[in-house]
A = this chain, B = another copy of it.
């Protein structure tokens, strides 16, 4: 039996989605002529500004394309569902947003993305576009601390892209943008939990099996298995388990400030996310950590997967400025 989806043709789902996105957001987004998988901000790129190109597989909406706009990313290269885009649309993004000050590539740390973005970076270099790359690795469940370079990028992308996008918008030079992007990544910590699978539009089969009373801790945003599977716990227990790990790594001091993201993987509703946020806020206030800002909702999804993640960004003055910097994107606004 196939899973239920409101689609036409699984193989055309990504392209039809993009048509629907462009129809909905003509004041924010356009496709590069001849390259429909290269989505550019109408108002983002400008001369002398570092161009920020993000991207990755589809199925994580509003990540990536929803974060394209003035003050955040200048372009997103769009892959098939859960598949890195090939080098061509990435290169077209780079060309479209290059304002002479260099281009920053940012994406989650996955083998496929690394290979495709690296190929695109080499091609861009041949076109005399200087490209720097910053991989996001915020998923603390995906590798131990001493192998941070192996970690995946997940919902924390949102904070990391936001910080880098602000730096680019402030016309910082490429080195500074890169530094801020790396710093943002190093201060961002995510843990997730999955309750039920999603299914790819082409196969319409659940992408993993999970017991009716089980949850998977640390599952990736493509349904990659996590660190352990166990009985479904209460919201407070789940949130505590996430926070225990996040806070152990972040090690905030009393009086430190953080930004909070409680993110749905797809079908977990706001009611559950806010119940989790209640616990996040209780725990942080217990240890004297101040919440500077909180975002709750669907920010980085896995199609219709059930589950949620908690991300904390450890702020300092610079990161606070970057997060507070205004942006106006198709699917997100700040400031």
A residues neighboring B (CB under 8 Å): 1-2, 4-8, 13-14, 16-21, 23-25, 58-59, 61-62, 66, 193, 195-196, 201, 212-213, 215, 232, 234-236, 238, 260, 262, 266-281, 291, 294-298, 301, 303-304, 306, 308, 331, 333
Find chain B residues with CB under 8 A from A304 CB.
267-269, 306
Interface pair A308/B6, CB less than 8 Å apart: yes
Q: Which one, B235, B278, B303, contacts A23 given CB within 8 A?
A: B278
Interface pair B195/A275, CB less than 8 Å apart: no
Interface pair A17/B274, CB less than 8 Å apart: yes
Secondary structure class of chain A's binding surface, majority of residues: mixed
Q: Which one, B1, B13, B18, B275, contacts A6 given CB within 8 A?
A: B275
Interface pair B277/A20, CB less than 8 Å apart: yes
Find chain B residues with CB under 8 A from A66 CB.
270
Interface pair A1/B281, CB less than 8 Å apart: no
A59 to chain B, nearest CB (A): 7
Interface pair B271/A236, CB less than 8 Å apart: no
Interface pair A297/B267, CB less than 8 Å apart: no
A243 to chain B, nearest CB (A): 14
* Residue in A6, A66, A268 whose Cβ sees the most chain B Cβ within 10 Å: A6
Interface pair B5/A297, CB less than 8 Å apart: no
Smallest Cβ-Cβ distance to A25: which chain B residue: B294
Q: Which one, B7, B14, B59, contacts A234 given CB within 8 A?
A: B7
Smallest Cβ-Cβ distance to A5: which chain B residue: B272
A25 to chain B, nearest CB (A): 7
Find chain B residues with CB under 8 A from A234 CB.
7-8
A sample of 30 cross-chain residue pairs with beta-carbon separation below 8 angstroms, ordered by A number, consists of: A1-B213, A2-B213, A4-B213, A6-B235, A8-B234, A14-B271, A16-B274, A16-B278, A17-B271, A17-B278, A19-B278, A20-B296, A21-B277, A24-B262, A24-B274, A24-B294, A24-B295, A24-B296, A58-B271, A59-B269, A61-B270, A62-B270, A266-B267, A267-B304, A268-B304, A269-B304, A270-B331, A297-B298, A297-B331, A333-B333
A93 to chain B, nearest CB (A): 20
Smallest Cβ-Cβ distance to A19: which chain B residue: B278
In angstroms, Cα B178 to Cα A17, docked, is 38
In angstroms, Cα B271 to Cα A266, docked, is 11
In angstroms, Cα B135 to Cα A178, docked, is 53
Interface pair A24/B269, CB less than 8 Å apart: no
Q: Which one, B8, B215, B281, B296, contacts A235 given CB within 8 A?
A: B8
In angstroms, Cα B7 to Cα A238, docked, is 9
In angstroms, Cα B7 to Cα A232, docked, is 10
Find chain B residues with CB under 8 A from A269 CB.
59, 61, 266, 301, 303-304
Smallest Cβ-Cβ distance to A193: which chain B residue: B6
A16 to chain B, nearest CB (A): 5
